[in-house]
Amino acid sequence: MDHTLAADLGRLPELLEAVRRAAADSLDGLDARPVVPPPPAQPPRPEPLPEDGAGAEAALTAFRRRWEPRLSASAGSRYLGFVTGGATPAALAGDWLTAVHDQNSNSALDGGGQDLERETTGWLRDLFGLGPAHSGTFVSGATMSNTTGLAIAREWLGERLGVSPAEDGAAALGPVRVLSGAPHSSIAKALSLLGLGRSALVPVPTLPGREAVDPAALDRALADTPGPAVVVANAGTVNTVDFDDLRAVAALKERHDFWLHTDAAFGAFAALSPHHAHLVDGLDASDSVCVDLHKWLNVPYDSAVQFTRRPDLQTRVFRNAAAYLGPLGADPDLVHLTPENSHRLRALAAWFTLRAYGRTGHREIVERDVACARALGAELERDPAFRLLAPVRLNVVLFTLTGEPDPDRLTARLTALREAAAGEVFTTPTVHAGTPALRAAFSNWRTTQADVHRAAEALRGAAAQTAVKGTA
Ligand SMILES: *Cc1c(COP(=O)(O)O)cnc(C)c1O
């Protein structure tokens, strides 16, 4: 054994203790360090590959010196960009132990990990109010969950048309139409990957002033579609967190032949809150459902779940026949259910946090984040420098600056504002109905009203700065 490696093995407990101290120190400092540090004046020069290593503790020191200061406080309470969760204490523990046990939990030949994963997807199904006809599998993120759901949809189209895209290729289907109101960008990416093509996506009009699909327009679009189709329903859009009326969409199945995939990446968490559960009424009627876990469940990256009512079609797409894996059987191994073969015991972090805090604990996180989003919305609304572009429906505040009619200058001012505030609060840019804007999305378990005030102060201060610069 290499002598440095042997030395690390000899003092593994002390080494883990050093890592534990470093981790505690980093988490302790989350609140004080810049939410997103400014980029360095000089672009970093990559160091050459070390010929001789100096051991794990020296690597830890080098990481803390060179790289850690560059990393954002994305695990902290005022990183409000994208839709970003943190890691609950239990989720972090589960993730550490995932690496400790280093399982490749995908077959019954060594079945402990996959049984744990199945227990966890069962819990998640209950958490989101899905019925027993849905079975779930872990994937790396909502993009992969959407891709997996649409791959099953593709095979369903084949079943309807008497062909198998899994065997004969997507071309066997002929032209395919995927109808959706305000789909996430990952849907087009999935269609590209699946050989259906980005142009298969047919936009359907949304309700006036909304991002929710107009059910009557969807009805007409389905009537105009020759043959079976795919509908992507959206439960929580990223700009305005709008929800399609899932019951109304599912009811169209009485008149039209389509697969219903619902992208509920973070919107599914509305089910945890009695005040908001109505937003996802009817989710269970979907044929496939996407939910991200590294967002609002607050498990570390990378984790999401994919639910479907048709695991038989799922195995047709993803089966990985190999002599050493044996026959598929009635309850196929995980290796036959997702794009990956080998994968980490991704379920463990979710298992830990659900076991530790239960439905009640996770409901509290969701409700507190929603209350924080409302509070920030109210603070910005009171300030004449800001304008909300949509009501705060759930956990996202979509806002812009007032008094800047020129879109290019508005974009420049928003960029300046975002950068000036980034040490205190991180938001991400967007464009909504042609208007440049910023989004603040609340999904971290640590965030409190004190963070909302701090974020609002930082945004107000940065807005005042850009106003001064703008008129100078
Ligand atoms: C975040 C998100 C996705 C993509 O999720 P990744 O985890 O980044 O792959 C898809 N759909 C919606 C609605 C999202 O919010």
- 171-212 per-position pLDDT tens digit: 999 999 999 999 999 999 999 999 999 999 999 999 999 999
Shared domain for 326 and 452, answered yes or no, is no
As given in the structure block, the two tokens for residue 374 are: 């409302």
Q: Which of 343, 366, 385 is the last residue of a domain?
A: 343
Shared domain for 38 and 62, answered yes or no, is yes
| Inter-residue contact 345 to 117 (CB < 8 Å) | yes
- How much is the pLDDT for 472? 42
For residue 10, being part of any structural domain is answered with no
Is the CB of 452 inside a 6 Å radius of any atom of ligand 1?
A: no
Is the CB of 263 inside a 6 Å radius of any atom of ligand 1?
A: yes
For residue 7, being part of any structural domain is answered with no
Q: How many whole angstroms from 141 Cα to the centroid of ligand 1?
A: 7
- How much is the pLDDT for 470? 53
| Inter-residue contact 446 to 77 (CB < 8 Å) | yes
**Pairwise CA distance, residues 198 & 189, whole Å:** 7
Distances (CA, A) of 175 to 205, 228, 295: 21, 11, 34
Shared domain for 169 and 262, answered yes or no, is yes
Neighbour order of strands in the sheet with 258-263:
135-139, 304-308, 288-292, 258-263, 229-234, 178-180, 201-203
Pairing of strands 201-203, 178-180: parallel
- How much is the pLDDT for 36? 97
Q: How many whole angstroms from 342 Cα to the centroid of ligand 1?
A: 23
**Pairwise CA distance, residues 311 & 133, whole Å:** 10
| Inter-residue contact 386 to 399 (CB < 8 Å) | yes
Q: Which of 283, 310, 343 is the last residue of a domain?
A: 343
- How much is the pLDDT for 326? 73
Is the CB of 265 inside a 6 Å radius of any atom of ligand 1?
A: yes
Interval 264-300: pLDDT, tens: 999 999 999 999 999 999 999 999 999 999 999 999 9
For residue 16, being part of any structural domain is answered with no
* Residues paired with 307 in a beta bridge: 136, 289
Shared domain for 200 and 267, answered yes or no, is yes
Shared domain for 371 and 309, answered yes or no, is no
Shared domain for 317 and 199, answered yes or no, is yes
Amino acid at 301: Y
Number of domains in the chain: 2
Interval 290-327: pLDDT, tens: 999 999 999 999 999 999 999 999 999 999 988 777 77
Q: Which residues of the chain have pLDDT under 70?
A: 469-472
Is the CB of 238 inside a 6 Å radius of any atom of ligand 1?
A: yes
Q: What is the CATH number of the domain that holds 226?
A: 3.40.640.10
Q: Which of 343, 377, 405 is the last residue of a domain?
A: 343
Which position has the token pair 């909304």? 210
Shared domain for 87 and 177, answered yes or no, is no
Q: How many whole angstroms from 401 Cα to the centroid of ligand 1?
A: 27
Dihedral sign, Cα of residue 183, residue 189, residue 192, residue 198:
positive
pTM equals 0.97
For residue 401, being part of any structural domain is answered with yes
Q: How many whole angstroms from 294 Cα to the centroid of ligand 1?
A: 10
Q: How many whole angstroms from 266 Cα to the centroid of ligand 1?
A: 8
Shared domain for 278 and 138, answered yes or no, is yes
Shared domain for 85 and 232, answered yes or no, is no
- Atom from ligand 1 closest to the CA of residue 294: 7
Q: What is the CATH number of the domain that holds 471?
A: 3.90.1150.170
Shared domain for 321 and 390, answered yes or no, is no
Shared domain for 296 and 395, answered yes or no, is no
Shared domain for 282 and 323, answered yes or no, is yes
Is the CB of 83 inside a 6 Å radius of any atom of ligand 1?
A: yes
Structural domain boundaries enclosing 459: 25-44+53-99+358-472
